Amino acid sequence: MKARAAALVAGLALLNGCGTKPTDYPLAAGQSNKPQAALDADPDHPLVVMTFSGGGSRAAALAAAVVKRLNDLHYTVGGETRALSSDIAVVSSVSGGSVYAADFGLNGPAHAAAFMQRIQDYDGIGWLTRRALDPITWLSLQFENETRIDVLQAMIEDLLQTHATMAAINQPGKPLIDLNATDLVAGQVFTFDRQTLDDVCMDYDKVPLSLGVTASAAFPIAFTPVLLRDDSYLATGCPGMRNGHLPYRTPLQLASGPYDNLETFRTARYRQSLRNETVRVQGSGDDVPPYRTPVYLRLVDGGVADNSGLTTLRRAFPDPIAPASLGRLIARGRLRHLVVIAVNARSEPQSPLDTSAQYTTIVTMAEGISGALVDSASANSAAVFQDFIKLLLDDRDRLVKQGQTQANFAVYPISIDFDQLPSATAAERQEQQRVKSIATSWTLKPGDVAVLDHVAGELLWRHPCFRLLVHDVELRGQPEANAVPDTDCPVEPPLPIPRRGKPPPA
């Protein structure tokens, strides 16, 4: 495997085309992007929101394995028996997780097992190596103005067996899929959704789905960035009819904007730069231009900004105009059980640096820093999301105390993380290490997906918030692990929500 990986790296290095052709699917004159339908929920059904982290093939297979478990969990309401997976309403994904998110958006949760088989059987390293050694590829790179990232996009289309465009996902009645990349210059999360592609004057329905996945998974250095042209910067402006008067500008219009909420201010400023608009600050006569002029956008792996996918959720949930606004659902009394399942395929690979005093080369340093950056950004994102849930619950309690019972809902934050596997015995530690060492390249060893499949069930059933959910919603399924002793889900509803089951297990 190491020899093949080395061959791949050498092959990628050979693919040194210096393409400068930006990708562009312009919004034509007179055309407009349909706005994204707002999320709806049935208060009798849990609202399931999932994040799929980065981590290459390991992450894609783990995410699919968790969804497969949700296919096997059922509950009955109003005489109807439903799978919990049919309540997945939002998926926010990064890098390898985006590969499965795309499959999920195209084929639904029932395809999870087939996807897992596809990942197990797929030889991504072999595919890339063959392409790297193919003279036709060299000619394409030299004469068709292509780059290594085009090769990755072709592999993703081969892996997903689709040439679908974004139009195939995010339709009314389907889950909302957010594929997240990173804007290399701004360091901001760039989400392939209707809103953001509209901002850069692109025709959402014409953008290949594989482009969003590729941008999300374009690991820096190994792959060149996805290069987009922002037609908002054409001399005549965006030829299409973008959504005109979005109320994103308020933080930029106020002198107090950076103090009211610095993150919101920065996000609004980034959006202004994508749309190439001016904003007039209240009380001033000046029209303030964008802080940068991104005529071209370079998008790299979403894990550079946040490898968990939680940032996109945290920004969308409280945004009153976002399609995934929770405030809207709560105001209408549509939310009773909010389930957030964060699938994290993070690992801490054994490093030879731990036991070696040898000179640290620039390559080693670059690898170490990029890995540390991804891990620290994700750790920060997870911590901020935890705080967000606490604030959400505090607000809920306040409203319920005011008599607004429609604001009473339960939250089940469920993290799926290899560090939550038992590790008290040598055998347990061995299993934990085995799963953490599963490759992120798109060629797995026999049995790798089976191990991830087993671990997904174990992690889900060990989680105290998942067990509480099983109780509250009366989910039926085969437990795959015992509860962790003396561990409760830390977020209980403040007022009794009518529950149909027995008291939760001790």
Q: Give the footprint of other proteins on this chain (CB under 8 A).
A: 244-247, 249-251, 253-254, 256-257, 260-261, 264-265, 280, 282, 315, 318-321, 325-328, 330-332, 388, 391-392, 394-395, 398-399, 402, 404, 407
Residue 118 CB coordination number (10 Å): 18
Q: How many residues does the chain have?
A: 506
Contact status, residue 166 vs residue 212, Cβ threshold 8 Å: yes
Instruction: Look at residue 101 and give its three-state secondary structure.
Output: helix
Between CA 267 and CA 114 the distance in angstroms is 38
- Report yes or no: 489 and 467 within 8 Å, Cβ to Cβ: yes
Phi-psi domain of 380 (left: phi exceeds 0; alpha: psi -120 through 50; beta: other): alpha
CB of 217 to other proteins, least distance (A): 29
Give the distance from CA 37 to its chain's centroid.
19
Nearer to other proteins, 282 or 482 (CB): 282
Q: What is the DSSP letter of 220?
A: B
Task: Please say which residue, 162 or 404, places its beta carbon nearer to other proteins.
Answer: 404
Nearer to other proteins, 335 or 451 (CB): 335
Q: How far is the CB of 248 from other proteins (least distance, A)?
A: 9
Q: How far apart are CA 300 and CA 323, in angstroms?
A: 25
Alpha-carbon span 348 to 278, nearest angstrom: 45
The contacts of residue 293 (CB under 8 Å, 6+ apart) are 233, 273, 276
- Give the closest residue to 105 by CA, choosing from 190, 169, 34: 169
Residue 176's SS3 state is strand
Residue 167 gets which letter from DSSP?
A: G
For the CB of residue 360, give the shortest distance to other proteins in the complex, in Å: 42
For residue 430, give the H/E element and its range. helix 426-436
Cβ count near 440 (within 10 Å): 18
Specify whether the CB–CB gap between 69 and 126 falls below 8 A: no
Distance CA 255, CA 271 (A): 18
Q: Which residue number, 126 or 327, has a Cβ lying nearer to other proteins? A: 327
**CA distance readout (Å), 48 to 52, 191, 320, 325, 459:** 13, 20, 19, 14, 17
Residue 383: CB minimum distance to other proteins, A? 15
Closer CB to other proteins, 267 or 370, in the complex = 267
Closest separation between CB of residue 416 and other proteins, Å? 24
Q: Which is nearer to other proteins, 366 or 391 (CB)?
A: 391
Least CB distance to other proteins at residue 250 (A): 5
Q: 287 or 492, CB closer to other proteins?
A: 287
CB of 391 to other proteins, least distance (A): 4
Q: For residue 180, how many other CB atoms are within 10 A of its CB?
A: 33
| Residue number with CB closer to other proteins (328 or 336) | 328
Residue type, 231: D
CB closer to other proteins out of 253 and 420: 253
DSSP β-ladder status, 296-301 and 176-183: antiparallel
Short-list 43, 49, 54, CA closest to 70: 49
- At its nearest, how many Å lie between other proteins and the CB of residue 315? 8
State the nearest-atom distance from the C-beta of 400 to other proteins, in Å: 11
Q: Would you say 107 or 325 has its CB closer to other proteins? A: 325
Residue 37 Cβ, how far from other proteins at the closest point, in Å?
A: 13
Q: Give min distance, CB of 90 to other proteins, in A.
A: 16
Toward other proteins, which CB reaches closer, 256 or 487? 256
